[in-house]
């Protein structure tokens, strides 16, 4: 009887732990900065603040950064990773702008002082609001938009691309799906069963037939490098696979490093003028 009681206690503890993990899992996925970023012009010369309208009635803060170098006629829609806010991507926007690319930085719901709480469905609505702003409000030709996704943002823009194909797609530190990343860090948990938000990046990418560049850090401790390489193998139109040697997930080399910027510019130059 003591053995049976012990087993029941252990089982109860495990079930309680799983229930707790189920209820708080989004706190382990999303790490928003709640503060509202400063005005765009104070962070990036020539940038302006814009407001995005989501399909479920939220208003999201964003910055539009025009090209400052010789204008290549391409606009980069940047989807952030799971932490911080758009101000942390200012160095990326500055570097791309200097190379002749316009940039839209935006924050998801719950990030950067925005209302709402992040979820897979919510982020899908948010990135569509960003796309809608560029195409319908700013008048950018959809074929002259390049999607740039950072880590979690790679899954966000890849899903967007299944409905609204861009001129090109840059995936920085992409993963196969969220469960695969979870299993790499928590091999003792039934991650695939617990997850609400799944982000099946590789599955979505198989339906995206646009020029694609994958950039990853060779020493990434968050998204295993082999996952990014697997994503690249799944791309129907892989343009380039770029390994940034010695780089970990959040290193400056993967924010605005020369290799990363050259990869984005190179793909932008492959986007031909509309006929």
Q: Taking the chain, what is the end-to-end CA distance rounded to the nearest angstrom?
A: 79
Provide the 10 A C-beta neighbour count for residue 52: 23
- What are the tokens at 247? 């780089």
Which of 15-24, 104-113, 257-266 is least confident?
A: 15-24
Where along the chain do its domains lie? 2-268
> Using CA atoms, how far apart are residues 223 and 233, in angstroms rounded to an integer?
16
The b-or-e profile of 164-191 (16+ CB within 10 A means b, else e) is ebbbbbbbbbbbbbbbbbbebeeeeeeb
Q: Which residues contact 85 (CB under 8 A, 6 or more apart)?
A: 32, 33, 35, 37, 107, 111, 112, 113
Q: What band does 33 get if pLDDT is binned at 50, 70 and 90?
A: confident
Instruction: State the average pLDDT over residues 11-19.
Output: 46
> Helix 225-234 to helix 178-185 angle, to the nearest 10 degrees?
160
| Burial class for 3, CB neighbours closer than 10 Å (0-12, 13-18, 19+) | exposed
Dump pLDDT digits (tens) for 54-103.
999 999 999 999 999 789 999 999 999 999 999 999 999 999 999 999 99
Query: Of 2.170.8.10, 2.30.40.10, 3.40.50.1820, 3.30.420.40, which CATH number belongs to 2-268?
Result: 3.40.50.1820
Which of 186-190, 208-212, 249-253, 258-262 is least confident?
A: 186-190
pLDDT at position 16, please? 42
Q: How far is CA 62 from CA 53, 130, 190, 265, in A?
A: 11, 8, 37, 22
Dump pLDDT digits (tens) for 151-174.
999 999 999 999 999 999 999 999
Of 28 and 249, which is predicted with more confidence?
A: 249
Dump pLDDT digits (tens) for 168-213.
999 999 999 988 887 776 665 656 566 788 899 999 999 999 999 9
pLDDT at 2 > cutoff 90: no
Residue among 20, 22, 15 at smallest CA distance from 195: 22
Flag whether the pTM goes above 0.85.
yes
**8 A C-beta contact, residue 197 and residue 26:** yes
Residue among 254, 247, 58 at smallest CA distance from 171: 254
Of 253 and 6, which is predicted with more confidence?
A: 253
């Amino acid at each position: 009887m003591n053995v049976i009681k012990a087993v029941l206690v252990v089982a109860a503890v495990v079930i309680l732990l799983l229930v707790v993990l189920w209820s708080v899992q989004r706190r382990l996925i999303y790490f928003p900065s709640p503060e509202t970023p400063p005005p765009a012009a104070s962070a990036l010369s020539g940038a302006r603040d814009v407001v995005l309208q989501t399909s479920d009635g939220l208003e999201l803060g964003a910055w539009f950064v025009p090209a400052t170098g010789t204008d290549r006629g391409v606009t980069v829609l940047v989807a952030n990773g799971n932490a911080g806010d758009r101000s942390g991507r200012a160095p990326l926007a500055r570097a791309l702008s200097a190379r002749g690319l316009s940039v839209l930085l935006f924050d998801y719901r719950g990030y950067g002082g925005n209302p709402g709480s992040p979820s897979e469905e919510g982020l899908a609505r948010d990135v569509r609001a960003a796309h809608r702003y560029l195409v319908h409000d700013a008048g950018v030709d959809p074929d002259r938009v390049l999607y740039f996704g950072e880590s979690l943002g790679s899954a966000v823009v890849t899903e967007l691309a299944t409905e609204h194909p861009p001129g090109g797609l840059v995936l920085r530190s992409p993963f196969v799906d969220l469960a695969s990343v979870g299993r790499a860090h928590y091999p003792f948990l039934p991650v695939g069963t617990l997850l609400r938000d799944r982000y099946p990046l590789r599955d979505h990418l198989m339906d995206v037939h646009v020029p694609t560049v994958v950039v990853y850090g060779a020493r990434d401790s968050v998204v295993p490098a082999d996952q990014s390489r697997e994503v690249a193998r799944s791309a129907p139109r892989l343009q380039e696979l770029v390994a940034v040697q010695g780089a970990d997930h959040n290193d400056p080399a993967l924010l605005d490093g020369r290799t990363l910027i050259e990869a984005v510019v190179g793909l932008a130059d492959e986007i031909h003028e509309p006929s």
